[in-house]
Amino acid sequence: MEYIKSKIRDVVDFPTKGVIFKDLTTAFKDPRALHIIGWDLSQLYRDKGVTKVVGIESRGFIGGSILAFELGAGFVPARKPGKLPSDTVSVSYAKEYGTDTIEIHRDAITEDDIVVIHDDVLATGGTMAAAYNLVKSFNPKKIYINFLIEISVLEGRKNLPADADVTSLIVY
């Protein structure tokens, strides 16, 4: 993890003043870091029977796709409204300054699936909580939640369902 941490760039005052943004693009562009991320993510779920990985728009698509590939699972994008071409199921959720919505295709997940929902960073947890509720509406066998980075001072785990199985590769 130290190698990956060394490749993550801190961007001060982004997206707003006072925030130190953990920029993973610098780790993603490094072949060794990307390989380590893929390997370490897959080891968390290698023996869990995962059949689908849901990646949350947009940075969750990167780690989620790698994880799905490593596990031999399917990949399901969770997108903003109007981005998916077929019939969707959606959930809206509160954010700091209003509401947002995410969608997945209606036929993306079945009751036979074991799902990992992946996003790059756990900050406040609102988007992941919404994604969890959306995936849960499909009644899959099991749902896991995964992040590359967790910003523990923001206490995002408190906003995730108490019964959720949550892992993060790196905790700040």
Name beta bridge partners: 101. Answer: 92
* Distance from C-alpha of 131 to C-alpha of 118, rounded to nearest angstrom: 10
Closest CA to 1 of 156, 150, 166: 150
Q: Is 131 exposed, middle or buried (0-12, 13-18, 19+ CB in 10 A)?
A: buried
Which is the catalytic residue, given 2, 9, 32, 96? 96
Is residue 106 part of the annotated active site? The answer reads no
Is residue 111 part of the annotated active site? The answer reads no
Which is the catalytic residue, given 59, 79, 103, 150? 59
Name beta bridge partners: 121. Answer: 149
The catalytic site residues sit at 59, 96
